[in-house]
Structure 1
Amino acid sequence: MLRSHSQVLYSFLPGAVFRHEDRVYGQVLSVDGRRLTDLNDVVIFSEIADYLENWPEDDRYDLPLPRDARMNEYRIISPEAVRWELFPLILECTRRSCGRVRSYQNARDIAAEGGRCAKCGAAQQQLRFYSAHNCGQVKKVYVPKCPTHGYDEISFDNTGSFLTATWRCHGPGCNGAVTSRTNMSPCSCGKWPGPDGVVRMRAHTLDDSRAYRAHYVDLVNVESSTFQTYQRHPNRNQIAVAHFLGLIGSIKDGLGEADTRSDGKRMTAAQWEVKEAVYIEMGLSADEIADLKRVRGPVETGLAALGTVSEAAVEIVAAARTFYERAAVYDRNEVPRMALADQVEVARERGDTLQADAMQQAVDVATTMGISELAVTWEFPIAKVAFGFTREQHEPGHGAIRGFRNQREHDNKYPVYAVATTTEALLVTLSPKEVLTFLHERGEAVTAPTDERTARRQLLEIFADAGARPAPADTIRTLIHTLSHLLLRGLDDGQVGFAESSLAEWMVPETLTFAVYANSLKDFTLGSLWTLLNSRSLSWLRSVCDQVIHCENDPICYQREHRSCERCAYLTFGCRHFNADLDRRVLADFLLSRGALAAARPAAV
């Protein structure tokens, strides 16, 4: 069976149960395709290993940590051809007066009987239940045997719930009597027993999405040679920090400076003041001191201006993949973007004052929300990589995660399936000065910043010191993550063409940056987010501010320790952190401290 790359990655990965267009259900056995060699496999496998380390080793099946030499045991595949089998092989007669059930060993036996009921000759259909367990195993439901008539007269009385459904026998003497209640099949794994200590599978309908979830990692995949060089460069961290601090204009400038510098760390202004006094006392001329200052003295731009940034900020904070990816995403030479504030001027230049005024109101609301830049790009380069799946329970410690290996394919390697695409995205950056002022008011930051540049440096040190003082970094993560979810959910209003399940987030809390992107994995864009930015940004931001305060589950949600739930902040898909670190209370406090919630209300008519 052939499907598009995106279809396979979302709906037809190994182990998934799906409905075929021929109105039958099947289970995917394996997925084949060409081997991909143009992605950064080192980064991909590092991210997969970090993800898998959240699971205990005993709960990882066919998923060794892809580190060092074990990376060679994996293979990155473009998902194209799907091999599947009919599942489950329990059929029931479609004639309601008959309803006889028969279990088959393989599809050939069904074909031999023509798919017809042996009792009345009517067409058969698959029984719409199967059993699954946290460990990842699945099996067809257990069909009981009548002591008198065997399996020939058994029917399934479907009440709409597997818990109340029954098996009945219609043979002479039984006359439709209940043969057995439905029972949960035992699982041989021995893990995650029920309250009675017995390990059982749970029945699911064939369309129940809870019984299977694929696990992915997303990474920025800029294809330019500049980005590829930057990714591998030994000074990548310094370049990323310098770009975030505004000390270099592009990562290309940073690469050029890193490759030509031969000097060590430059002095700070205070250090130079002391050293200059020494030079004067030594009798050096003004020209000689000026030459030394150019080489060793303080500078305000370039990598040399990183002197006051701690080693921990460079070696720990900037080493995170998303941090150095952010430098490329926010480099207009690599990923062009259009900011809302700039589009106000474009609208005024073409004489569209009504739209310009509405957009300016949106800029004002965004500013009061602490957003320093709201932009759109049509060229957000994302690669999505699927490497395993879970059933029933999808979080570490509650179930097992399984890989996709099939010993008869891919030279017995462990396959991961990847699709790279360029899509549209909203790029959001909060003001470091406003966020750190908020932290200072909460008592989590020692000093309030005086300007944006100082605030950016303080922000880096907060995350560098997160091991000793976690509170401010945790507050920032919660603030960024919650706002990201509410902005994403705010798009699911039927007016921009996106459902919540078709969007995903990319976050860099260390830089107060996140993106909401179209998770379609198709190399074209509808321009919906561009339309949002130009025509609906004001109403969108206002609705998000309203969502901060109100939830359909209130007052229950309002009274939770972490004020968030499936009705206000949770995402069905698209959240790598499984909806952790969300709290509308933190976001509401931040917006209230700035007067944003009042400013977002429409003016009275």
Structure 2
Amino acid sequence: MSESQRMLRSRSQVMYSYLPGAVFRHEDRVYGRVINVVGSRVNRLNEQVVFEEIARSLERWKEDDRYNLPIPRDSREREYEILSPEDVRFELWPLVFECSHRECARVKSFTNARNLVGSSRCDECGGRLRQLRFYSAHNCGKTVPMQVPACTTHNRKHIFFEDTGSFRTAVWRCRACSNRVVARTNQSPCGCRFTQEPAFQRMRAHTLDDSRAYNILDVDLVNIDSSSFKTYQAHPLRAQIALAHYLGLIDGIQDGLRQADTSPGSSAKRMTASEWETQERKLRATGLLSEDDIATLRTTSGPAETGLAGLGELPPGVLDKIATERPFLERAAVFDPSELQRTTLVEQLNSARAKGDTLQAASIQSGIDLAERMSFSELSVTWEFPIAKVAFGFTRESVEPGESAARGFRTQTNRSDKYPIFAVASETEALLLTMSAVEVVNFLADDGFVSTRPSTEDEAKRDVLGIFARESSDPLPAARVRTLLHTLSHLLLRGLDDGQVGFAEASLGEWIVPETLSFAIYANSLKSFTLGSLWTLLTNRSHSWLASAAERAVRCENDPLCYQHDPRACERCAYITFGCRSFNHDLDRAVVADYLRRRDVFTALTS
């Protein structure tokens, strides 16, 4: 048996379970540790976004707590290489074995895999050796096999490990000393700087299958790689373009770029809404101009109603705080038909009617009626949702800065001196949903979170932007909106795991832009193919899917315990396994149930 072996895995498998430093179970019923992953350079990945997101994440760690992970800003980006994982190289690990005969179970350690080849049987009874299924890990990233203690009389020749199911009570014993206890499983200090903290002084023992000892540091992002998106992303007026698109003032990114480059200062020549209101009163007071004349003046001198100039006055902080965030900028492309094709539920209804399919039209109409009652202003599906998973390092024991060290994937066996980042990009199916801003703001007003009650979507959208812009000084309204949107996303995602659309909950992910009341639920398969399952759902089962989400808002298998919990959310109703970037925070079924109840959703479902 060689000390290093090759193993082929799918790219998605590697990204989740087989990156450098991971301990895994091989199909040959042995355990190994990944020492290197070989791959080829990734194409069609928006590297600017990738490095920006990695830098933001790494800046949470102190420099002393980052190993092989320089901040990828400025010229240091060139020190990294982004690879598509293709070939996994691993070593047999740990090299601590025990006899498979229960009455013997003597433990034997090896210094390398070559020594195991000629000594794969127990020296005492001839039984087959198997790996002892435990090892130790520390917050600094270090891993070591279990340290086999020595008997004062027989050294390590007759030592065996008594596994009681708990490391607190498990002990090492000596067969030759009538099974006398030789040592307990108290773990020794690591010796790194983390051991200066009382909570991290000792290493912790883990089973070889325990995922808590290896946490991938990764980024999931919408990977839009078109030339127009890159131009928009680097444009000094990108925030204005994103805002204008969200408010419906421009048709798309290219339209916004065209306006920004041809007439960037045109808005300065026009009056604001308040200035025009004053001027309009003066013009009418003179009695010299007709209504048609005043309307003509408004189109040339009054506030613009479309285009970038139509942004007008925005709540303080929106331009520099909200509209520069990556998800907000991404949304303009995701909802731009020239960048990403999507089909709405309304378009599906029109198509069914055009074909004369009355049964399907009736099914879709019932879904539209329920979506509107739940205050979704748009419900659509796309086959082109461009998602990328990018892994740049890992931690042990904890994912929190200050409690763990962040380690990169560069090892001595790397082919180059660059720091490897592993990425898989794909286009997949996704459901895109947007809520009505008017209904959400009025919901907040009902509870006293805000004082305004907008009558139009434009007014309400601007109100929502203002809510998030002042979140630092007034956090409750933004938190309420985020909880409502995030919980709805989880309830709808879990509603897809019913055995009818071909997706398990763990194979789905979410993308949320709370400032725009938009979110997506996508097939997180990392494979560039689509089953058409979400399109089928939208066409044939939209009503039952939305109804199941509403039902989940008021029912949980853990009730009454979950019902009495604050916030009201648990693993049986709202939590998802892998696809939540905020680790199931900001969830509360009570908020969604209250929102739906005020819109008479439950009455409509039972009538």
TM-score (norm 2): 0.91
1:238 to 232, 237, 240: 240
- 3-state DSSP of counterpart to 1:366: helix
Task: Show the counterpart of 1:181.
Answer: 184
1:421 to 420, 426, 438: 426
Distance 2:444 2:483 in 1: 12
Q: CA offset at residue 57 of structure 1? A: 4.7
Task: Show the counterpart of 1:259.
Answer: 261
Distance 1:361 1:395 in 2: 46
Distance 1:198 1:530 in 2: 50
Task: Show the counterpart of 1:3.
Answer: 9
> Residues 142 and 183 of structure 1 are in contact (CA less than 8 Å); yes or no, is this contact kept in structure 2?
no
Q: CA offset at residue 514 of structure 1? A: 0.7
Task: Show the counterpart of 1:221.
Answer: 223
Q: CA offset at residue 184 of structure 1? A: 3.0
> Residues 142 and 185 of structure 1 are in contact (CA less than 8 Å); yes or no, is this contact kept in structure 2?
no
2:589 to 584, 588, 592: 584
Distance 1:326 1:566, change over 3 A: same
Q: CA offset at residue 168 of structure 1? A: 2.6
Task: Show the counterpart of 1:343.
Answer: 348
Distance 1:295 1:262, change over 3 A: farther
1:442 and 2:447 are equivalent in the alignment: yes
Task: Show the counterpart of 2:517.
Answer: 512
Task: Show the counterpart of 1:203.
Answer: 205
Distance 1:410 1:432, change over 3 A: farther
Distance 2:362 2:249 in 1: 34
Alignment of 1:509-548 (within 5 A): 509-548=514-553
Distance 1:187 1:450, change over 3 A: same
> Larger deviation: 381-390 or 502-511?
381-390
Q: Deviation string for 1:242-273 (max 9, x for gaps)?
A: 11001111111112222211534232344235
> Residues 193 and 200 of structure 1 are in contact (CA less than 8 Å); yes or no, is this contact kept in structure 2?
no
> Residues 194 and 200 of structure 2 are in contact (CA less than 8 Å); yes or no, is this contact kept in structure 1?
no
Distance 1:103 1:468 in 2: 60
Distance 1:360 1:212, change over 3 A: same
Task: Show the counterpart of 2:127.
Answer: 122
Q: CA offset at residue 496 of structure 1? A: 1.8
Q: CA offset at residue 4 of structure 1? A: 2.5
Task: Show the counterpart of 2:109.
Answer: 103
Task: Show the counterpart of 1:248.
Answer: 250
Runs (5+) with no aligned partner, structure 2: 1-6
Distance 1:295 1:31 in 2: 62
> Residues 541 and 600 of structure 1 are in contact (CA less than 8 Å); yes or no, is this contact kept in structure 2?
no
> Larger deviation: 24-33 or 531-540?
531-540
Alignment of 1:62-461 (within 5 A): 62-113=68-119, 115-171=120-176, 174-189=177-192, 191=194, 199-265=201-267, 266-272=270-276, 274=278, 296-310=301-315, 312-409=317-414, 411-461=416-466
Distance 1:242 1:537 in 2: 30
Q: CA offset at residue 438 of structure 1? A: 0.4
> Residues 194 and 200 of structure 1 are in contact (CA less than 8 Å); yes or no, is this contact kept in structure 2?
no
Distance 1:292 1:258, change over 3 A: farther
Distance 1:95 1:468 in 2: 66
Q: CA offset at residue 58 of structure 1? A: 4.5
1:596 to 592, 595, 601: 601
Residue 551 of structure 1 aligns with an amino acid whose one-letter code is C
Q: CA offset at residue 492 of structure 1? A: 2.0
> Larger deviation: 258-267 or 444-453?
258-267
Distance 2:251 2:81 in 1: 37
Task: Show the counterpart of 2:469.
Answer: 464
Distance 1:276 1:385, change over 3 A: same
Distance 1:292 1:592, change over 3 A: closer
> Residues 192 and 199 of structure 1 are in contact (CA less than 8 Å); yes or no, is this contact kept in structure 2?
yes
Q: Deviation string for 1:47-100 (max 9, x for gaps)?
A: 122223344555433333323343333322222222211111111122334322
Residue 82 of structure 1 aligns with an amino acid whose one-letter code is V
Distance 2:248 2:291 in 1: 31
- 3-state DSSP of counterpart to 1:435: helix
Q: Deviation string for 1:271-307 (max 9, x for gaps)?
A: 23555789999x9999999998665432211111111
> Residues 46 and 225 of structure 2 are in contact (CA less than 8 Å); yes or no, is this contact kept in structure 1?
no
Q: CA offset at residue 319 of structure 1? A: 0.4
> Residues 190 and 199 of structure 1 are in contact (CA less than 8 Å); yes or no, is this contact kept in structure 2?
no
Q: CA offset at residue 427 of structure 1? A: 0.9
- 3-state DSSP of counterpart to 1:600: helix
Distance 1:598 1:139, change over 3 A: farther
Residue 267 of structure 1 aligns with an amino acid whose one-letter code is M
> Larger deviation: 520-529 or 461-470?
461-470
Distance 1:286 1:182 in 2: 89
Residue 13 of structure 1 aligns with an amino acid whose one-letter code is L
1:27 and 2:36 are equivalent in the alignment: no
Q: CA offset at residue 160 of structure 1? A: 3.8
Q: CA offset at residue 34 of structure 1? A: 2.1
Residue 248 of structure 1 aligns with an amino acid whose one-letter code is I
Residue 15 of structure 2 aligns with an amino acid whose one-letter code is L
Distance 1:580 1:397 in 2: 20
Q: Deviation string for 1:517-555 (max 9, x for gaps)?
A: 111100001122122222322222222112212233333
Residue 18 of structure 1 aligns with an amino acid whose one-letter code is F
- Between the two proteins, the alignment pairs up a number of residues equal to 597
> Residues 263 and 295 of structure 1 are in contact (CA less than 8 Å); yes or no, is this contact kept in structure 2?
no
Q: CA offset at residue 434 of structure 1? A: 0.6
TM-score (norm 1): 0.91
1:53 and 2:66 are equivalent in the alignment: no
Residue 258 of structure 1 aligns with an amino acid whose one-letter code is A
Q: CA offset at residue 450 of structure 1? A: 0.2
Task: Show the counterpart of 2:4.
Answer: none
> Residues 551 and 567 of structure 1 are in contact (CA less than 8 Å); yes or no, is this contact kept in structure 2?
yes
> Residues 468 and 515 of structure 2 are in contact (CA less than 8 Å); yes or no, is this contact kept in structure 1?
yes
2:19 to 13, 20, 23: 13
- 3-state DSSP of counterpart to 2:378: strand
- 3-state DSSP of counterpart to 2:564: coil
Residue 425 of structure 2 aligns with an amino acid whose one-letter code is A
Distance 1:285 1:194, change over 3 A: closer
Distance 1:183 1:23, change over 3 A: same
Task: Show the counterpart of 2:3.
Answer: none
Distance 1:343 1:371 in 2: 16
- 3-state DSSP of counterpart to 1:43: helix
- 3-state DSSP of counterpart to 1:376: strand
- 3-state DSSP of counterpart to 1:323: helix
Residue 496 of structure 1 aligns with an amino acid whose one-letter code is V
Distance 1:501 1:243 in 2: 33
> Larger deviation: 36-45 or 580-589?
36-45
Q: CA offset at residue 118 of structure 1? A: 2.5
> Residues 438 and 590 of structure 1 are in contact (CA less than 8 Å); yes or no, is this contact kept in structure 2?
yes
Distance 1:287 1:344 in 2: 40
Distance 1:428 1:447 in 2: 25
Q: CA offset at residue 407 of structure 1? A: 4.6
Residue 96 of structure 1 aligns with an amino acid whose one-letter code is R
Distance 1:43 1:410, change over 3 A: farther
- 3-state DSSP of counterpart to 1:585: helix
- 3-state DSSP of counterpart to 1:425: strand
Distance 1:75 1:292 in 2: 57
Distance 2:58 2:584 in 1: 18
Q: CA RMSD in A?
A: 2.8
Distance 1:290 1:448, change over 3 A: closer
